Structure 1
Amino acid sequence: MAQTDYPARPVRIVVPFSAGGSTDQIARSLAEGLSKLWQQPVVIENRDGASGLIGSRVVAESQPDGYTLLFGTQTTQSVLPHIVSQMSYDAERAFVPITELVSIAQVLSVPPSSPFRSLAEFVTYAKGHPGELTFGGGVGATTHMAMELFMSQAGIQLLGIPYKGSALSMNDLLAGRLDSMFDVIMTSLPHIQAGRLRALAVTSAQRQPLLPDVPTVAELGYSGFETNVWFALFAPQNTPTEIVQKIAEDSRKVMTEPARRRIFNESGFQIIASDPATFAERVRLENEKWRQVVKRANIKLE
């Protein structure tokens, strides 16, 4: 099939989460732009369940023709495959990486009643009181994995409190029932600005424009620490290279439109819109990083 022939009919993007969340909203923004560009309907299909594995399997088992795509995340593609004991597909071989669309940093926050006013104070106390300080996050969620990565680098041990969603853990953090939590800037920022949370550090390599006074974890002495939550497009394995390339190129056109870029930046997202080769290497490195974190922390999800 020639690149110019695609798409000749509607394209389906499977979002392996329920409608209304941030993942779904990003996917719908992309679909809207691609629909206009391609003059073909780009339909979002929400297939939630099993932390994203059900929708991912739908795409893994689809025809590799470019008409069924997966809106994957760091969690579905690079974390869950290492913590789920029984998977019906090989996540590292079932998909072709197309493009990393956007990413967003996380911020480590504590309640305003917390005695810790810096990351150094937080770590010093944690080293002297292993297992006493708590953090929130669902097993394998980005909130959980960011803390596991930080604990391994800082040489500390906190008590993880599992939640079914970050909103529930955020409520307890705000109420002072949790000592700390990593969460994306988009969610944490309003509370930080209102004085309901105190930000200690961000997880990106550089400081964030929306939180310019908050240092990065790396600059506070943890060299190389970086973990951004990413959202991306994947196709079933064996999808023709020319189709993968076209989807990546057209997605870049959509995501870099000035109005769309401004909207995402205002929420703390960074537009990436990478090419397939660059993104494939990113996925490889992410898989290796989280595989090591999972093994070290012995994280399992039945």
Structure 2
Amino acid sequence: MRDDRLLNYLHLHFIVFIWGFTAVLGALISIDSVPLVWYRMLIAVVMIVVYMKVKKVPFQFSGVHKLSRKRLLSICLAGAVIALHWITFFGAIKVSNVSVTLAMMSTGAFFTALLEPLFTPKKLVWYELVFGVVIIGALYYIFQVETQYVLGMILGLISAFLSATFSIMNVTFAKDHPPSMISFYELLSGVVLLSFFFLLPQFHFVTPQELSSDDWLWLVILASICTAYAFIASVKVMKFLSAYTVMLTTNLEPVYGILLAFLILGDAEQMTPHFYIGALVILCVIILNGFIKTRFKRK
């Protein structure tokens, strides 16, 4: 059992590395965040359908996997949450850059710590509140020195909150149903939701002909490796890991993503020393929180 947990933990790190590359792809793809996410989810749904056909995974919930209408609606709601998370995530990248967005995403573990007591038996502990105050102070410091990126920071924080919400919801589903089946319904519900966005005049639908060859290349990579594979794999590892462990490991996404952004995007990702000080404080607090929590569990 210990080996299973270790393998799943290492697998999760690989998935988080892929998510870090997702941010870079968001900067490389030229279209706005809403059509970008719509294409991402649609292509991923098609790939998951192919996977389920090959693996002979049923599309309907039956037998031991049968669920109520309420649970199906909850899964669809989770799909809407992840769609909105990705819209705000890529939106933050478009109006700022990868580094700013990923620094804000590192607050996800803090949001998880606040939200888990509301939806699970877990109780809020005093040191998480203290760490929360430190994180808020670090965010205020970054907001003061990087004023040109305020909108990107706000969108990044909203995205982190939605990501934490989704992780808590998905842990429950992952323990009861096949990962590919959950991913299929969540992504499909996201596609349906975003399709309604294009009925509004402020959201322009980008036709396939309007996409450049580079956009298609990055979208296929984004939808296949960074979505279809990573989505199913992340749901699978949640069978063995807690929501907090998942969210804590996910906080390495800024490290992986910022390094990749430097290598691929170059000077566009250069930030002031003040930004890195604030981001480092946030990351250190999150890691320290996980370390203390692990020590208390052992005792």
Provide the TM-score with structure 1 as the length reference: 0.24
- Relative CO higher for 1 or 2, CA cutoff 8 Å, sep ≥ 6? 2
Greater fraction of residues in strand = 1
